Amino acid sequence: MTYFLDDAPIPFKPRGNDVAPSTWAMGLGAAFKKAALENDANFVAARTDADVRMGRASQAAGILGRDWLVGKLEERNTRARDAGMPSQVKEIPETIDEMIEAMGPNGARLILDEARQAAAVDPAKWANLDLTEEGLLREANGRLQADYKEAEEILGMMPGGGTAEFIGGMAGITADVKNVPFLLLGGPSGSFLRVMGREAMLNVSAELSFLPSQFTMADRLEIDDPNIARQLAFAAAGGAIIGGAVGALGRAVSYYQGRSQTPRIPGMSRAM
């Protein structure tokens, strides 16, 4: 009865009747996302930073005005004409977002640099827009933390989700473009067990080389430092399974090709 008091501790996380427990598939996806965030898989941190920077540049461009953007694009076209490169002369787009995209990969940086100079001259005009690098990093971290918290909440509402968390975590670590060279480096030679063991060790080596970025991500997500033993177990399992699957697929293809070939008859050409 003490739990009805305002100051009583709550020993469990409340969940309303309208919130159903997570399914196995939801838990699998949440575990995949959680592991991918912890490992910075496919450069999720850099992509989030770029998205935040582009969004802030779009806001700043709205304050700088369309005329400023048009002037920058016209300057680029003038330089292209002067350099004798008419193919680089581009038509100026209509919308601000299209203009930012037309400015190329350095467009967001140029806009933010100009906005910071303008803010130094007229701070009141830019008071509602945080242009500092610290502010950009804080917003990016907030997005990463929100995604991580969502994944943890899904896993927390999942009854008996150990299997889904292990499989999803293993996939989240392995399905990273940085791991591709290590997954295929071992080759398909040898027995299946040998191939699986070799790929497991290669994936563990890859995971060890990426550990510094995992500690950086732990700081950005504001979570505990990575559990190295757990990470290496996921990496070994993922390498063994995928490496074995690749080897098995290669052997199956070779077997099928061998069965589908017509043997050559002695004394006759292959065409005959």
The overall pTM is greater than 0.75:
no
Amino acid at 70: V
pLDDT at 183: 54
Please tell me the number of Cα atoms within 13 Å of 213 on its side-chain side: 19
- Per-10-residue mean pLDDT of the chain, 272 residues long, equals 47 51 82 87 92 94 92 89 86 87 88 94 93 95 96 83 70 69 51 49 56 82 75 59 49 48 64 62
| 8 Å CB contact between 12 and 157 | no
Do residues 38 and 214 touch, judged by C-beta distance below 8 A?
A: yes
Residue of 231, 224, 188 whose CA lies nearest to 206 = 231
What's CA 82's distance to the chain center, in Å?
A: 41
5 alpha-carbon distance from chain centroid: 44
User: How is residue 250 written in tokens?
Assistant: 């290669």
Identify the sign of the CA torsion 68, 74, 76, 82.
negative
The pLDDT assigned to 38 comes to: 86
> Closest Cα to residue 27, out of 139, 127, 158?
158
Give the span between the Cα atoms of 8 and 224, in whole angstroms.
28
- 99 with 93: CB under 8 angstroms? yes
Q: How many other β-carbons are positioned within 10 Å of the β-carbon of residue 152?
A: 15
pLDDT given for residue 1 in this prediction: 45
Asked whether 208 and 233 are in contact (CB, 8 A), the reply is: no
> How many CB atoms lie under 10 A from the CB of residue 193?
10
The tokens for 178 are 């940085």
d(CA 272, CA 267): 10
3-state secondary structure of 130: coil
Exposed e or buried b per residue across 134-151, where buried means at least 16 C-beta atoms within 10 angstroms of its C-beta: eebeebbbeebeebbeeb
Nearest residue to 30 via CA among 155, 132, 143:
155
Query: What's the confidence (pLDDT) of residue 82?
Result: 87
Please give the C-alpha separations between residue 148 and each of 133, 144, 151, in angstroms, as whole numbers. 22, 6, 5
Structure tokens at 20: 């159903």
